[in-house]
Amino acid sequence: MIHPAILVALSYLIGSIPAAYLAGKLTRGIDLREHGSGNLGATNVYRVLGAKVALVVLVVDALKGAIPVLVFPGITAANRPDLWAIGYALAAIAGHVRSIFLLLRGGGKGVATAAGAFMSLAPLPSLVALGVFVVVLFVWGYVSLGSLSAAVVLPVIIGWREGVRSPLFVVSAVVAAFVFWTHRSNIARLRRGEEPRFGKKTPG
């Protein structure tokens, strides 16, 4: 059995894998931080590199959050594996946002990795949040607004099902606040009416 602290570190390293950065380098030899919005997330990949590459990046980013939560609790003898699973999720999200492989600079906003982690931690609330994301994206056309809406809904559903004293509720609320923080520039553009709608491509 592996000590859970080692698995937390490994979760961070997995989260740090810069899928969008690698996609830009491998497909077009570019650094996505210098193109489009400059964000290393699936939305910017879509706008610069196209839908197929973006789908691969989205899946990889989600798996970075899901794999530690699903796999690591089974290979450690620690007490309260459920709490350690939350720790693995947070470490993976932190790695995505501040990747050690990119010298802690220019990561993504953590939404896809958080979605993968919470889909494993709390499947039903996560599915509800995903449904809200899809509806908001379909009706208004903004990925950022969909992400923010899902971030609000997730802790509400978890709190309703498990109580506000549940560690999972507390963590989901913290992650929601973190998502708002990483989207602060998007929020400013939404207020000004300058946020680009999904489907608008950006020249490479």
In this prediction, residue 81 has a pLDDT band, given cuts at 50, 70 and 90, of: confident
- Per residue in 3-14, pLDDT (tens digit) is 899 999 999 999
pLDDT the model gives residue 104: 84
Q: Which residue in the block uniquely carries the two structure tokens 């982690």?
A: 117
CA gap 75, 80 in Å, rounded = 13
CA contacts within 13 A on the Cβ side of 96: 34
At residue 175, what is the residue type?
Answer: V
Q: For the segment 24-47, what is each residue's pLDDT rounded down to a tens digit?
A: 999 999 999 999 888 899 999 999
Work out the end-to-end distance of the chain between its first and last CA atoms, rounded to an integer number of angstroms: 47
Q: What is the band of 201 on the pLDDT scale with cuts at 50, 70, 90?
A: low
Q: What is the distance of C-alpha 131 from the center of its chain? A: 16
Q: Which of 81, 24, 66, 63 is nearest to 47 (CA)?
A: 24
Per-domain boundaries in the chain? 4-192
* Mean per-residue pLDDT over the chain, rounded: 92
Share of the chain above pLDDT 70, in %: 97
Kindly indicate the confidence band of residue 94, based on its pLDDT and cuts at 50, 70 and 90.
very high
Which pLDDT score, from 0 to 100, does residue 77 have?
75
Q: Is 30 within 8 Å of 184 (Cβ atoms)?
A: no
Cβ 111 vs Cβ 133: under 8 Å:
no
125-163 pLDDT, tens digit per residue, is: 999 999 999 999 999 999 999 999 999 999 999 999 999
For residue 204, is pLDDT > 50?
Answer: no
Any alpha helices (H) in the chain, and if so which ranges?
4-16, 19-28, 42-49, 51-71, 81-97, 111-121, 123-140, 143-162, 167-182, 184-192
pLDDT number for residue 200? 59
pTM confidence score: 0.89
179, amino acid identity: V
pLDDT at residue 203 tops 60: no
pLDDT value for 107? 77
The whole-angstrom separation of Cα 82 and Cα 162 is: 14
| pLDDT at site 84 | 93
Per the document, the length of the chain is 204
What distance in Å separates the CA atoms of residue 180 and residue 105, rounded to the nearest whole number?
19
Contact 77, 4 (CB under 8 A): no
